[in-house]
Structure 1
Amino acid sequence: MHKKLQLDCRYLAPLLLVVYAGVANAGIVVNPPVVELGSPEVTYQVLVTEQPSTGGQLDRTRSARYEVVDTNIAIVNPDGLIRPRHDGKTELIVRYVDDTVRVPITVRGVDHPQPVSFRHEIMPILTKSGCNSGGCHGKADGQNGFKLSVFGYDADIDYDSLTKGGRGRRVFPASSDQSLLLLKGSAQVPHGGGRKLKPNSHRYRLLRRWIDEGAHRDLGRRAALVRIEVQPKQISLSPHGHQQLRVTATDADGNRFCVTTEGAYNSNADTIATIDGRGWITAGDIPGEAAMVVSFMGQVDVCRVTLPREGVDFARPPETNFVDKHAWDKLKQLGIQPSRPASDAMFLRRVYLDVIGTLPTTEEARAFLSSDNPAKRAQLIDNLFRRPAYADYWALLWADILRVDQGVVQPQGAVAMTRWLRKQIAQNRPYDEFVYDILTARGNIYAEGPAAFFRAVKDPDELSRSISQLFLGVRIECAQCHHHPSERWGQDDYFAFAGFFTGIKHKPLPTGAISIMPVPGTDTIHPLSGVSVATAALGAGPADFTGRRDRREVLADWLTSDDNPFFAKMIVNRIWAHYLGRGLIEPIDDIRATNPPSNEPLMEALIAHLREVNFDLRAFTKTLLNSRLYQLSSESNDGNVDDFQNFSHALFKPIKAEVLLDAVNQVAGTNEKFVGWPTGYRAIQVWDNRLPSYFFRIFGRPLRTSVCQCDRGDDPSISQALHLMNSREFAEKIRNPTGRARQIANSEMSHVEMVETLYLAALSRFPTVGEQQVMSEAFKNSVSDTQTAVEDVLWTLLNTKEFMYNH
Structure 2
Amino acid sequence: VDELLERPEFADYWALKWSDLLRVNRRVLGREGAYTYYRWIHDSFAANKPLDQFARELLTAEGPLSESPAGQFYKVVPKPNEMASTVSQVFLGVRIECAQCHHHPWDRWGQNDYFGMQAFFTQVKFKSSPLGEMLTSNGNAATKHPRTGAAVLAHPLGEVEPEETPEGDRRELLADWLVAGDNPWFARSLANRTWAHFLGRGLVEPVDDFRLTNPPTNPKLLDALAQQLVDSGYDFRQLIRTIIATRTYQRTTRPNESNARDEQNYSRFPMKRMDAEVLFDAVCQTTGVPEKFVGLPGTRRAIQLWDSQSSHYFLTLFGRPVRETACECERVAEPTVGQTLHVLNSPDIHNKLRHAGGRIGRLERELPDNGELVDELYLTFFSRRPTSDERMPLVAHLANSANRREAAEDIAWSLMNSLEFLFNH
Question: What is the TM-score of this pair, normalised by structure 1?
Answer: 0.51
Query: Which of 404, 407, 410 matches 1:792?
Result: 410
Q: Secondary structure at the match of 2:69?
A: coil
Q: Spell out the pairing of 1:472-551 with structure 2 (5 A cutoff).
A: 472-509=92-129, 513-543=132-162, 548-551=167-170
What is aligned with 1:181?
A: none
Q: Spell out the pairing of 1:37-436 with structure 2 (5 A cutoff).
A: 381-436=1-56
- Superposed CA deviations along residues 553-603 of structure 1, whole A, max 9, x for unmatched, are 111011111221111110010000011111011001101121111111111
AA in 1 matched with 2:36? A
CA contact under 8 A between 2:51 and 2:234: conserved in structure 1?
yes
Question: Aligned pair 1:691/2:303, yes or no?
Answer: no
Distance (Å, rounded) in 1 between the aligned partners of 2:257 and 2:140: 60
- Choose between structure 1 and 2: higher strand proportion: 1
CA contact under 8 A between 2:61 and 2:68: conserved in structure 1?
no
How far off is 1:544 after superposition? 7.9
How far off is 1:394 after superposition? 0.7
CA contact under 8 A between 1:496 and 1:523: conserved in structure 2?
no
Unaligned runs of 5+ in 1: 1-380
Cα 1:545–1:516 shift into 2, 3 Å: farther
What is aligned with 2:323?
A: 704
Question: Aligned pair 1:676/2:295, yes or no?
Answer: yes
CA contact under 8 A between 1:543 and 1:554: conserved in structure 2?
no
CA contact under 8 A between 2:85 and 2:95: conserved in structure 1?
yes
Cα 1:539–1:433 shift into 2, 3 Å: same
Unaligned runs of 5+ in 2: none
AA in 1 matched with 2:106? S
Distance (Å, rounded) in 1 between the aligned partners of 2:76 and 2:16: 16
CA contact under 8 A between 2:293 and 2:299: conserved in structure 1?
no
AA in 1 matched with 2:334? D
- Report the number of matched residues: 425
Query: Which of 356, 373, 387 matches 1:754?
Result: 373
How far off is 1:709 after superposition? 0.9
CA contact under 8 A between 2:370 and 2:399: conserved in structure 1?
no
How far off is 1:468 after superposition? 0.5
AA in 2 matched with 1:792? D
How far off is 1:429 after superposition? 1.1
Bigger radius of gyration among the two: 1
- Superposed CA deviations along residues 275-325 of structure 1, whole A, max 9, x for unmatched, are xxxxxxxxxxxxxxxxxxxxxxxxxxxxxxxxxxxxxxxxxxxxxxxxxxx
- Choose between structure 1 and 2: higher helix proportion: 2
What is aligned with 2:420?
A: 802
Cα 1:509–1:716 shift into 2, 3 Å: farther
Deviates more, 1:525-534 or 1:581-590: 525-534
Cα 1:609–1:553 shift into 2, 3 Å: same
Cα 1:544–1:561 shift into 2, 3 Å: farther
Query: Which of 335, 339, 342 matches 1:723?
Result: 342
CA contact under 8 A between 1:508 and 1:515: conserved in structure 2?
yes
AA in 1 matched with 2:410? D
Q: Secondary structure at the match of 2:134?
A: strand
Distance (Å, rounded) in 2 between the aligned partners of 1:430 and 1:461: 27
Q: Secondary structure at the match of 1:506?
A: strand
What is aligned with 2:398?
A: 779
Distance (Å, rounded) in 2 between the aligned partners of 1:543 and 1:714: 44
How far off is 1:753 after superposition? 1.2
Q: Secondary structure at the match of 2:373?
A: helix
How far off is 1:529 after superposition? 2.4
Question: What is the TM-score of this pair, normalised by structure 2?
Answer: 0.96
Distance (Å, rounded) in 2 between the aligned partners of 1:560 and 1:546: 21
What is aligned with 1:305?
A: none
AA in 2 matched with 1:384? L
Distance (Å, rounded) in 2 between the aligned partners of 1:614 and 1:750: 54
What is aligned with 1:437?
A: 57
How far off is 1:637 after superposition? 1.4
What is aligned with 2:73?
A: 453
CA contact under 8 A between 1:537 and 1:543: conserved in structure 2?
no
Distance (Å, rounded) in 2 between the aligned partners of 1:715 and 1:582: 14
How far off is 1:447 after superposition? 3.7
Percent of aligned pairs with the same amino acid:
44
How far off is 1:448 after superposition? 5.6
Cα 1:612–1:588 shift into 2, 3 Å: same
CA contact under 8 A between 2:115 and 2:145: conserved in structure 1?
yes
CA contact under 8 A between 2:367 and 2:373: conserved in structure 1?
no
Distance (Å, rounded) in 2 between the aligned partners of 1:545 and 1:759: 68
